[in-house]
Structure 1
């Protein structure tokens, strides 16, 4: 329809009035392509004096400019409105949120002299959801505390608030609000399910799905996609298959369903590339979503060559930025430098993510000079990217280069001083670099400085596994399980076997001083992933396969030890860590070929 309107404009001989201009600006916002930008900007430039006092048309112009990502001119129009109404504010705030500028949306909300309406509340909740920092939590909770009764019958506002609370990790209050909503619709249930997923409670997501069905709400494509994501997190093959069997045939061919299924089997905790391939091969005409999902699946499972081969088979018009990112990531995780260079050089528009992945690939191979050049070239035209520095810092840690690590960290503190969580992660990498070199005094200084600056907000390493229908969780040196005595006895047996077969515990992966009552072996042997493996062996003395999931990257010592355990015990071990899936085979090799 917008295109037809533009065709009429080309034939129009009379000057458009305000009503026409309002339609034109809305059509341009909807279409949002080069033609729309040309037409919209032309009429705005030529008719600005005509509409100067017409808030309705000016608000439409703001909406259009925000869709064009022309923030500066949208702000200019907003400031020229003499009597700003609630729609002027909502257009600006919504535009800020859609352009990933939630801070500006909250700034505008706090200086708005008008009483908010439902649209303002929804946009504000969305802004708070995106930020989810101290300020956002304070604003969001304040609105809820003051105005909850006002929203009682407005389920759109309540759903937005529900999403916000889940983004705040305030599950308890979200659950309370969920129960207050009298007429729960599929969006309400979907928000709760997704909220549980993002808060690492996928079991609760499955329970909410079952409750939704009991309430006679028919799941749609989005609900099943969220459910599949929950199963991907849980990683129990039997549950995954049970969920697949529930999906109606008319939904199984939907793009987001089959791409989610590919992701669940191959990229999630299940780690079954064969099942993912079966789904992919069953798609008669794979689109960009399916192809990209399969490329990503190959990459995460250490099958970089297969990822590149599929990427090369896809017509150029079916490739997008996500496809480029996934194949470069596959190259990075498989050490395919030449393929990565070739693909990177072929990409015309090198986005931040694409460039960051290339830097990651180079840094994993310790090619820091080349990585720095790629970073410098990017920064000639763009603002510095934190992810690029993190990629280089991670590589510097693996190469145990304390000088480079310190330089990168100092630069990050200067450039990204407001990125608290990322700087915490960076300081941990720097601390680990010094620890790996035995420079514990320097590591302790960095750790204490971090606590002073950022608090003790450090992510605890956790590992999950399932055996005989029991899903269990371990942290390092964990003795909370009822079978701890048996688990540690099995650890002793495993350690003795490892040493017998030549394993030497690598002290460079110990990130703190060794205490008097500890040894390098006792510290590393009690890492959460080794505890999870030992748990599996006492449940099933001769398992054919063990699957575990870790929320952080597997450490180098655990990686080397797991290769040997798989060989000694003649058992395949699948480890899904924060970055990829490791298949440890009974021949003592890992699918990542040590590129982790």
Structure 2
């Protein structure tokens, strides 16, 4: 007998030869059902719609009808959508499975059912589909919705153990649970189950996987899933964009946006928020503006979440004007809107505007939340607005947020920055001492208030109460040690850091380097640096700054060069440290190369540009310093003061006074440092009347109280002009005891004007005030030498030796070929020492023919480099530097020499003759000022 089949409107079922009685009963039952037809094998062969092959075991759908296997695949895609009638079938005419919505039906036949279907059905027990899959999936989703992600994953594992047939409605909540818990390993395991089930091609499952890998920090895997998705909708694109933003790959997020546009997809709200966050992280203002234009044309225009993201983007890109425009254009504002804009003002250093906006928020009856108050407290801290901070504190208490650990820490920070330590202590004492965060906030706050000793005491108390310190604690305590130069305490903290295995962390390593550098132990700083596996830019910057502070500018520049050779991008802090090194060595060429790098990177940080001005000033290039000053789009008080100090250093008194007048016209506030620069300029230029006027007008006109530095300057102004009695009277009328520096200033004036009696008296005072200072002994010895009292000179010399007081050796530096060369008195350590001495002898011969006569007198203002060394036998350091510069540079090149002591009269005369004989400009910076030697004359006009 031929095979027969039963046609149902939407599917076909085939029976082979077998139980004819059972088969015929089924046929009879089907024939009585409406819409069902019976065809014999003969009829099948003649059918136009169905072609039958007698050797086959299945019927192929040639038109609109599906294959039998396709219907089974639909069943196994989600069995929970089918009714399972296997246990309650009344007769063979009833199907085994029936779809709940489409009413499609399926029968199980031993012969016609494909083998893979039998395998899959074997794990689905009759009657368990509704009781397990459907209910389990619902329960799984409910767990995730209620935030019980761990329970969701436990249920997922139980479903696997029970042999449940997992589908996309199982996988989606399970993946979301992994996302919420950042459970990457669990997510990878579920991903493997998804691939085996064939659900990896589903667009919703793929989007969830992208989100999961994103939240777990695995961008590479997220991209792999995203790229393998057969179709991608806006959800998957938005998820991938958000993934890149979260991973700090803003540029990649913007590239994805361009690809998405090429595929003709319009971003949704989530995509726009991610793109705006990418622009904010990159500071890409123009790209952000272009996206804003697209938002205006889209359906998302007016959406409050997108509007808030726009404000955040403009704020972080530094365009508060655009942020303000967006804020004003928003028809609807929520607490996030206000908080974002207030925080933007606070973070951009406009705390006053932030506080004013907070007042407007109250007027609009918008209730601030915790985030708002954190922004307000930051604004109060930045502006020193103590009363406003206290008002915010009272509101926090009313809302119950003052007990929050983060809020409490922010309150302590605000009170410390407002210099109100009693209030900070009150907040600290009200916080739970079990939480390390409270201790960290107070320790850090004390360090900011320059109360390093109190910070260390609090740390000891913390240990006594057995509160375990963390990384933040150690950073604060190390900063306290650095501020106090407490090397021993710093080493003890370092031992604790090492014990907890925190030393390898980059932030900790950088902090240790900074602490050791400020404590004067550059060797320990180098050990920490050398033990770091991969030092970052912060570590390199700390190491460079440490060497500068330790007086090793040349080594600092070597480190800077090595850092760039390792392709580590310098930061603004790195450039500042390197510029300070250049300034300390007068390394102009190196400084110029750093200037070029800053211009290439378009860094507009004002403090960095102030350092550029300082570097050019200290390298003797006052014109280039003013060029930087003049080109700055924004200047602060430090910019003006730095330029003022540069003019003073170069003896350009009139230029300094003119700049001061410009500062007054612009309404800039002059501080104590400004007046030191101004008075110093008057001193070097011999402007006695002007110096007296500004000194007497400091407090009554400008409100600046005179300090020891100002008294030293006015004593120098009067002393240089020969008004010794007036200078001495100023010292007598000082409201505090004179410092050694002030006394030495008057002593130098005594030498210039030949008042040896007053000089002897003052030199004795210097030794009495500071017996460990070698300058007093040297200067008194020089006074006795000048007056012929050689016996007294010998006694002073013996007293210095007996007290084991060593004088500072003279040292000079010169930069040649982007390398700094150092020379001491009678230096023989330089590799070209013989050639240098030969060049110096040749030079002395030329100078003698030109009329140069060595000055063999011992001069008081030289701080004693030549005290015991005859300059003809043991040449001073600047002479060696000049000789080396002449033999190592092309004819006509200017030479720049830096000296750690004040230049003596003989070296001053020697350098004037050199500039005339060799026809070069020589720029010498000594401990007092700059000397520009050209054509046999000096810019100081022999007044130094």
Query: What's the secondary structure of 1:477's corresponding residue?
Result: coil
Where does residue 476 of structure 2 map in the other structure?
123
Where does residue 667 of structure 2 map in the other structure?
317
Higher RCO (C-alpha 8 Å, min separation 6)? 1
Which protein is bigger by CA-based radius of gyration?
2
Q: Is the counterpart of residue 144 in structure 1 residue 498 in structure 2?
A: no
Shift of 1:476: 1.0
Where does residue 143 of structure 2 map in the other structure?
none
Q: Is the contact made by 2:670 and 2:702 (CA closer than 8 Å) also made in structure 1?
A: no
Q: Is the counterpart of residue 406 in structure 1 residue 764 in structure 2?
A: yes
Where does residue 547 of structure 1 map in the other structure?
896
Residue correspondence of structure 1 range 156-171 to structure 2 within 5 A? 156-171=507-522
Structure 1 CA distance, aligned partners of 2:666 and 2:733?
Answer: 25
Aligned residues: 562
Query: What's the secondary structure of 2:667's corresponding residue?
Result: helix
- Report Cα offsets for 1:429-459 as digits up to 9, x if no partner: 34323333224234325524653xxx65x54
Residue correspondence of structure 1 range 391-402 to structure 2 within 5 A? 391-400=742-751, 401-402=759-760
The structure-2 alpha-carbon separation of the partners of 1:126 and 1:461, relative to structure 1 and needing over 3 Å to count, comes to: farther
Structure 2 CA distance, aligned partners of 1:595 and 1:200?
Answer: 29
The structure-2 alpha-carbon separation of the partners of 1:97 and 1:279, relative to structure 1 and needing over 3 Å to count, comes to: same
Moved more, 567-576 or 121-130: 567-576
Where does residue 223 of structure 1 map in the other structure?
574
Where does residue 596 of structure 2 map in the other structure?
245
Where does residue 705 of structure 2 map in the other structure?
350
- Report Cα offsets for 1:304-347 as digits up to 9, x if no partner: 21121122123342344243333333223323222223333143
Shift of 1:575: 1.0
Query: What's the secondary structure of 1:472's corresponding residue?
Result: strand
The structure-2 alpha-carbon separation of the partners of 1:201 and 1:62, relative to structure 1 and needing over 3 Å to count, comes to: same
Where does residue 436 of structure 1 map in the other structure?
783
Q: Is the counterpart of residue 326 in structure 1 residue 677 in structure 2?
A: yes
Q: Is the contact made by 2:923 and 2:932 (CA closer than 8 Å) also made in structure 1?
A: yes
Structure 2 CA distance, aligned partners of 1:41 and 1:442?
Answer: 65
The structure-2 alpha-carbon separation of the partners of 1:94 and 1:355, relative to structure 1 and needing over 3 Å to count, comes to: farther
Structure 2 CA distance, aligned partners of 1:81 and 1:395?
Answer: 57
Q: Is the counterpart of residue 296 in structure 1 residue 651 in structure 2?
A: no
Shift of 1:361: 3.6
Shift of 1:514: 9.9
Structure 2 CA distance, aligned partners of 1:378 and 1:569?
Answer: 48
Moved more, 75-84 or 104-113: 75-84
Where does residue 583 of structure 2 map in the other structure?
232
- Report Cα offsets for 1:10-42 as digits up to 9, x if no partner: 9899xx99x999969945751443xx2334568
Where does residue 7 of structure 1 map in the other structure?
359
Moved more, 71-80 or 571-580: 71-80
Shift of 1:161: 0.8
Structure 1 CA distance, aligned partners of 2:643 and 2:901?
Answer: 24
Residue correspondence of structure 1 range 189-228 to structure 2 within 5 A? 189-213=540-564, 216-228=567-579
State the TM-score, normalized to the length of structure 1. Answer: 0.78
The structure-2 alpha-carbon separation of the partners of 1:9 and 1:356, relative to structure 1 and needing over 3 Å to count, comes to: farther
Shift of 1:469: 6.3
Shift of 1:151: 1.2
Residue correspondence of structure 1 range 35-74 to structure 2 within 5 A? 36-40=385-389, 63-71=413-421
Q: Is the contact made by 1:299 and 1:327 (CA closer than 8 Å) also made in structure 2?
A: yes
Query: What's the secondary structure of 1:138's corresponding residue?
Result: helix
Where does residue 338 of structure 1 map in the other structure?
689
The structure-2 alpha-carbon separation of the partners of 1:279 and 1:394, relative to structure 1 and needing over 3 Å to count, comes to: same
Gaps of 5+ in 2: 1-341, 343-353, 752-758, 786-791
Shift of 1:583: 1.0
Shift of 1:46: 13
Where does residue 94 of structure 1 map in the other structure?
444
The structure-2 alpha-carbon separation of the partners of 1:139 and 1:498, relative to structure 1 and needing over 3 Å to count, comes to: farther
The structure-2 alpha-carbon separation of the partners of 1:285 and 1:470, relative to structure 1 and needing over 3 Å to count, comes to: closer
Structure 2 CA distance, aligned partners of 1:356 and 1:444?
Answer: 30
Shift of 1:160: 0.9
Q: Is the counterpart of residue 561 in structure 1 residue 910 in structure 2?
A: yes
Moved more, 528-537 or 149-158: 149-158
Where does residue 257 of structure 2 map in the other structure?
none
Shift of 1:5: 7.7
Structure 2 CA distance, aligned partners of 1:396 and 1:402?
Answer: 8
Q: Is the contact made by 2:716 and 2:745 (CA closer than 8 Å) also made in structure 1?
A: no
Where does residue 488 of structure 1 map in the other structure?
837
The structure-2 alpha-carbon separation of the partners of 1:513 and 1:5, relative to structure 1 and needing over 3 Å to count, comes to: closer
Shift of 1:71: 5.0
The structure-2 alpha-carbon separation of the partners of 1:98 and 1:363, relative to structure 1 and needing over 3 Å to count, comes to: farther
Structure 2 CA distance, aligned partners of 1:471 and 1:218?
Answer: 24
Structure 1 CA distance, aligned partners of 2:608 and 2:916?
Answer: 37
1:501 aligned residue (840, 852, 873): 852
- Report Cα offsets for 1:389-418 as digits up to 9, x if no partner: 4233333245241212333553x45xxxxx
- Report Cα offsets for 1:158-179 as digits up to 9, x if no partner: 2211211222443443333224
Where does residue 280 of structure 1 map in the other structure?
629
Shift of 1:531: 1.9
Structure 2 CA distance, aligned partners of 1:488 and 1:347?
Answer: 54
The structure-2 alpha-carbon separation of the partners of 1:97 and 1:297, relative to structure 1 and needing over 3 Å to count, comes to: same
Q: Is the contact made by 1:393 and 1:409 (CA closer than 8 Å) also made in structure 2?
A: no
Where does residue 417 of structure 1 map in the other structure?
none
The structure-2 alpha-carbon separation of the partners of 1:59 and 1:256, relative to structure 1 and needing over 3 Å to count, comes to: closer
